[in-house]
Structure 1
Amino acid sequence: MMRMAAVILVFSMGITLFTAVPGKVTAQSDQGLEAVLEPVIEKQMRSAEIAGLAVQVMKDQQTVFAKGWGVADRQTGRPVSTESTLFHGGSLSKVFTATAVMQLLEQNKIRLEDPIVRYVKEVKGKVDPGVTIHHLLTHTGGLAHNNVNTAARDERTLMTLSDYLQKGTDLYALKPPGETIIYSSDGMALLGRMVETVTGKSFAEYVQSNILDVLEMKQTSFLQPPPKPIRSRITTRYHGSKPYTDDYLTNMPPAGDILITAADAIKFAATHLNRENPVLQPETLALMHERHVSHHPLMRGRAYGFNEMVIGGQRMLYHDGASPGTIVRLVLAPERKLAFFIAYNSNSPHLMEKLTELILEHYSIGGEGGASSAGDVSPQQAGKYAGAYRPYMFSTDSFQKIYGLMSQLDVKTDGKGNIVLPKGTYTAVGEGLFYNADELKENLVYFKNNEMYLGTNSFRKLSPYETITVQGIILIGYLLITLMQLLGLAFPAIRRQVKHKSLIWLCAGAQLMGVSALVGLLATLVFIDPLEFVYGVPGYFRVWVYLIILGMLLSICLLYGIMKSKPSSWGALYCVLVVIVQVGCGFWLNSWHLFSGTLI
């Protein structure tokens, strides 16, 4: 539903088509790859309103393809260049943070089993003392992924990394450390702060002098705000045809947001593919790339900082990055000595998967792999896995719980012992393990103890009450009952039963505020870009919450008015029903933590 919000918003503004402007192709250009990518890119850029896109590919430590399409800025017409156009790298920052941590490990300044609170004193009491550096590097620290207050619109509201960890996030714990993989930007922010406390330098300064300068990544920067010389080369970020006008400065640079060109990204990739490099020793590099955790031996897992992808029996490392108006991906295929980087200034995720598939197929990486013969699973056995699941990623102790509601994944069976997901049908290959040969990355799904694991993502099975269907019924039921009660006041017979005008006004006020607040909340979640929350909770969202609280207070006043005014039995019953519905709605919304300290 959150993804649909972006689509609805684009259509509400109207679609503006543009023609992609071809970029310069390097002398070393894989013409066969260009022929494969060109028609797909140009078509998708038009249909998805992508302004500009860059692709660079390296094979055997040599760039074999580099090209930019479209424009970095629609107003100026500045074309995309793989050498000079800077993209907001978002979570791609995490692999640089992990690299910095591995450097400290080499220097014996830290140990992987050290608790993070040893180095980041400001989070003592907020983070389980059992959370180690190893846990955070593999996203097994059990911490929630915070989506709110992670960025600033301008330098005036920008937080330091220390301030963000103390004031900007609550560091909610979802699971004990080491139990499961739960993607968390807050965890990587903790590692970045550790780099600061161990080295005595800011995170940006350390990475600049120990990684970027060493690799001659002259365009790339972690500095917030970005240095003036590079600002003119940063892509304008777009939501459909509408540009984002803020600066987008992140409060948590170690988790995102690096500014990087395609050429610099490939320089970094080359270092990770070359065992003899100036950044990490071969033994450290091997340790970093090793699979350290997975949900099942046959499933892809996580290295230190990198995610893992296994396609056609080929193991690859990759990391995505997303910020409002930009998506990037860096992929390393060590066995093939292949690396590629894709970036574009749009929120549309679909083109990224298609381009990844095309590039891998071009270099003969694909086909089946990772699972074999089907197991003997009866329809009854498969049926126990059916139900609604919600990702562990989002906190259940704050209003960000609602992100989980929007991310619900429904699991069904086909009556033949197979599992059906939105991605397709999965066939049993073992106890709780199902396989889909048609899926590129998420070709295995695993069920255990009312939990589901899809790749490196973990989900918990929901009770019927928690599902979006039941929650939707409650919402619709509340709106219908309240509107019927409100319309009832238009009938003289009901007004005569209530008698006192003050009670009538209290009833109408409580009902109007409740309906207005819920409609406002729903409209915000459906029509407003969810990425707005990275700058903090929008003021209009708080208004809806305050209206709900005011409606509840009016309901309490109404209850007092009933006791004082003593209307007729039917009038009292009407008023009591109004109180029950409005106060009940408040308790229901409180289960989504809308009355938490973050919002009021």
Structure 2
Amino acid sequence: MLVLVGVLVSGLVTAGSAWGAPPSTLDPGAVRAFLDREVPEQLRLLQLPGASVAVVAGGRQVFAGGYGTADLGTGRPLDDRTPVRVDSISKVFAATAVMQLVARGELDLHRDVNEHLAGFRVPDTYPGQPVTLAHLLTHTAGYEERNTGNAGAARQPLGDYLATHQPARVRPPGLLPSYSNYGLALAGHVVELRAGMPFERYVEENVFGPLGMERSTFDQSASHPLRAEAARTYRPDGAGNSPVPPSYDFMAPAGSAIASASDMARFMLAELRGDPRLLDDGPLRSMQDQQFAVDPRLPGMGYAFQHGVLGGHRMFGHDGDGFGSHSVMALFPTLGVGVFAAVNGDGTDIGGSAGLHELVRRLADELLPPGPIGVSTYPEVDAAPAAELAGSFRYARISTSDPSRLLARVLADVQVEAAPDGSLTTVGPVLYELPGTVRWVPVGERLYRADGRADLLAFGPGGAHLASGDDATVAWERVGWWQGTTLHLALALGAAVVLLTTLAWPVAALIRRRRADAGPPLLARWLAGAMALLLMVFLAFAAWLANPLDRFLDALIGDTAALAVLCALPTLAAVCALGVLVSAALAWRRRWWSTAARLHYTVVALAGMTFLAVAWEYNFVTLPGA
């Protein structure tokens, strides 16, 4: 569930609130003509079933409608009243609920969240530095990313799930952002505890209800009438689409809401004009205004809202990504304009998420007046080569407990190279629109601008971390060369090649027609062969599970038997490896086999331990009771 990556690019650091914004010059006819031209074409090119779109401006709804199909099985069209999954836009509704209780004096944003909990507590990992609601709403609580078991076929009470699935605290709160679904779900749980009612009921009565959002709900019950009317979600399947199996999101406040285009228009209008039915002036301003930034020169976080710049204009918003569903909401306070769009499919080519970001960017470029923020806002300055900033940087939103760690490292790590002219080059997804190689020119102290663009990149003191204006919810932390994923994977591959040489043992015995080993030497070879076989089966199973990637994600999020089997294979191999290490020592002490055979066995033992060390680093080896 990313947050406006790609749509929000760097700019001024405070979006502010929008009450009293001048009437927009957006022409309803031009908006409809743009959408009628662009959306159907995008659905066709990306093989997406349908889309829901809303645009507001000048204090009124300019457009709310649907395109394509809500249910491919029945052919039911998607229209302005069709509820669609909004995924992580749900977090804005959850934060609104928190702020309502703060406004009433029932919650305190800056007190230890444990004061609001019952039945379990957030661990005191960093004494004197408690997690607060403010940390939860700005993604700065310092949690690891934990993905296993986040959804399933059977519903779980929110509090029970949160109590038994607490992620580790891996950094002090308020230090760096790391997007956390658990954090927003925990904030939602605080709401239901303080309000004395289930979270979904509180939101329906206090957020959706007052605004007339009758086609929106957090209730995931299959019997809820809106769930039957909601757009089904789809994944590409050959030349067509197949439905995503329904499941319960166990962290509901972070991503389970559905809403229609017309309802999203109502919500955006309430945010832009400061509707007291939602929140009074002060709390709404606090929610929208910037509350945290890695660097004050970068866009940062409000309470659940992410700040940025689009089309040269300051804005704040959120987006959502799920299985077969993607959405984006962008609010332009200085223009009084809001845009919401969602699709009910993953799509092909660049995909549904990237397609939405491109749609909103084109809408801003074509329909909004040119904004004041651009390349000239950040003129290039002379700077010495910044060798101290070069190196490897690890994505902060990473797991310390499940195999998604490998996926995050492979897809999101960044390399930084320093040039003699003072510029930098990054390799990796610092910018959503340019996930490959980007050149950056210096525009301030440890501050860089993408060459020819207005996107910003800032480094911490000594280059300890980096952050991009492209996404305020995450940062990257410096790691040593020995912690690099490329090195780890190369070691694992080399170890796998060595392990395959154990096949030579039975082959050699057949060719030479000599008597096989007996007693301990035979057991030693059996242990090494079993270790190698288990690890080779692990590699083959992992390759199958990851192709397509959705299969692995389903296993991970659902914590299925397939994931258990995947992790059991290297765990069993680790048990064998202990015997192999002992056997290697005994082979030299008792002079089993020839010197060359002993050397080979020792190398196999070291290869097995090397492979298992990599598997351990990426959480594929599990301990009993873990």
Q: 1:179 aligns with which of 175, 178, 202?
A: 175
> 1:489, 1:495 within 8 Å by CA — same for their partners in 2?
no
Within 5 Å, give how 1:523-534 maps onto structure 2. 523-529=544-550, 530-533=552-555
- Cα offset, 1:566, TM superposition: 6.2
Q: Counterpart of 2:161?
A: 164
* Cα distance in structure 1, aligned partners of 2:624 and 2:356: 34
* Cα distance in structure 2, aligned partners of 1:40 and 1:597: 52
* Cα distance in structure 1, aligned partners of 2:176 and 2:420: 30
> 1:192, 1:203 within 8 Å by CA — same for their partners in 2?
yes
- Cα offset, 1:522, TM superposition: 4.0
Q: Counterpart of 1:18?
A: none
> CA 1:363–1:558 in 2, change beyond 3 Å: closer, same or farther?
closer
* Cα distance in structure 2, aligned partners of 1:145 and 1:266: 32
> CA 1:483–1:204 in 2, change beyond 3 Å: closer, same or farther?
same
CA offset digits 1:54-99 (Å, max 9, x no partner):
211011122222332211122211111122x111111111111111
Q: Counterpart of 2:297?
A: 298
- Cα offset, 1:303, TM superposition: 0.8
Within 5 Å, give how 1:390-539 maps onto structure 2. 390-406=394-410, 407-421=412-426, 422=428, 423=434, 424-436=438-450, 439=453, 443-448=455-460, 449=462, 450-455=464-469, 456=472, 457-487=474-504, 489-492=506-509, 496=514, 499-500=517-518, 502-529=523-550, 530-533=552-555, 535-539=557-561
Q: Counterpart of 1:45?
A: 43
CA offset digits 1:432-486 (Å, max 9, x no partner):
101127557xx11101142111121210122222222212211210121112332
* Cα distance in structure 1, aligned partners of 2:363 and 2:370: 9
- Residue 140 of structure 1: SS of its match in structure 2? coil
- Unaligned 5+ residue runs, structure 2? 3-25, 429-433
- Residue 119 of structure 2: SS of its match in structure 1? helix
* Corresponding position: 1:568 with 2:590: no
> CA 1:104–1:485 in 2, change beyond 3 Å: closer, same or farther?
same
Q: Counterpart of 2:8?
A: none
Within 5 Å, give how 1:376-395 maps onto structure 2. 376-378=382-384, 380-381=385-386, 383-395=387-399
- Residue 255 of structure 1: SS of its match in structure 2? helix
Amino acid at match of 1:427: V
Q: Counterpart of 2:187?
A: 191
Q: Counterpart of 2:247?
A: 248
* Cα distance in structure 1, aligned partners of 2:577 and 2:278: 65
Return the TM-score normalized by structure 2: 0.84
Q: 1:208 aligns with which of 204, 208, 228?
A: 204
* Cα distance in structure 2, aligned partners of 1:511 and 1:356: 51
> CA 1:403–1:387 in 2, change beyond 3 Å: closer, same or farther?
same
- Residue 330 of structure 1: SS of its match in structure 2? strand
Q: Counterpart of 2:102?
A: 105
> 2:310, 2:361 within 8 Å by CA — same for their partners in 1?
no
> CA 1:533–1:277 in 2, change beyond 3 Å: closer, same or farther?
farther
- Unaligned 5+ residue runs, structure 1? 3-27
Q: Counterpart of 1:7?
A: none
Within 5 Å, give how 1:145-164 maps onto structure 2. 145-152=145-152, 154=153, 157-164=154-161
- Cα offset, 1:280, TM superposition: 0.9
Q: Counterpart of 1:5?
A: none
* Cα distance in structure 1, aligned partners of 2:420 and 2:574: 47
- Cα offset, 1:102, TM superposition: 0.9
- Cα offset, 1:554, TM superposition: 3.3
* Corresponding position: 1:86 with 2:112: no
> CA 1:506–1:179 in 2, change beyond 3 Å: closer, same or farther?
closer
Amino acid at match of 1:136: L
- Residue 240 of structure 1: SS of its match in structure 2? strand
- Residue 587 of structure 1: SS of its match in structure 2? helix
* Corresponding position: 1:373 with 2:373: no
* Cα distance in structure 2, aligned partners of 1:90 and 1:447: 31
* Cα distance in structure 2, aligned partners of 1:145 and 1:49: 31
- Cα offset, 1:428, TM superposition: 0.8
> 2:244, 2:323 within 8 Å by CA — same for their partners in 1?
no
> 2:51, 2:68 within 8 Å by CA — same for their partners in 1?
yes
Q: Counterpart of 1:357?
A: 361
* Corresponding position: 1:224 with 2:220: yes
Q: Counterpart of 1:36?
A: 34
> CA 1:533–1:188 in 2, change beyond 3 Å: closer, same or farther?
farther
Q: Counterpart of 2:137?
A: 137
- Residue 293 of structure 1: SS of its match in structure 2? coil
> 1:558, 1:579 within 8 Å by CA — same for their partners in 2?
yes
Q: 2:612 aligns with which of 583, 586, 592?
A: 586
Q: Counterpart of 2:19?
A: none
Q: Counterpart of 2:75?
A: 77
> 1:330, 1:342 within 8 Å by CA — same for their partners in 2?
yes
- Cα offset, 1:560, TM superposition: 6.2
- Cα offset, 1:594, TM superposition: 2.2
- Cα offset, 1:495, TM superposition: 8.2
- Cα offset, 1:339, TM superposition: 0.7
* Cα distance in structure 1, aligned partners of 2:217 and 2:477: 38
- Residue 252 of structure 2: SS of its match in structure 1? coil
* Corresponding position: 1:119 with 2:104: no
> 2:244, 2:324 within 8 Å by CA — same for their partners in 1?
no
- Cα offset, 1:198, TM superposition: 0.9
Amino acid at match of 1:231: R
- Cα offset, 1:151, TM superposition: 1.6
> CA 1:107–1:593 in 2, change beyond 3 Å: closer, same or farther?
same
> 1:147, 1:533 within 8 Å by CA — same for their partners in 2?
no
* Cα distance in structure 1, aligned partners of 2:312 and 2:119: 44
> 2:69, 2:78 within 8 Å by CA — same for their partners in 1?
yes
> CA 1:523–1:434 in 2, change beyond 3 Å: closer, same or farther?
farther
Amino acid at match of 2:147: N
Deviates more, 1:562-571 or 1:343-352: 562-571
> 1:104, 1:110 within 8 Å by CA — same for their partners in 2?
yes
CA offset digits 1:540-566 (Å, max 9, x no partner):
232132222323333444566675996
- Cα offset, 1:300, TM superposition: 0.6
> 2:570, 2:621 within 8 Å by CA — same for their partners in 1?
no
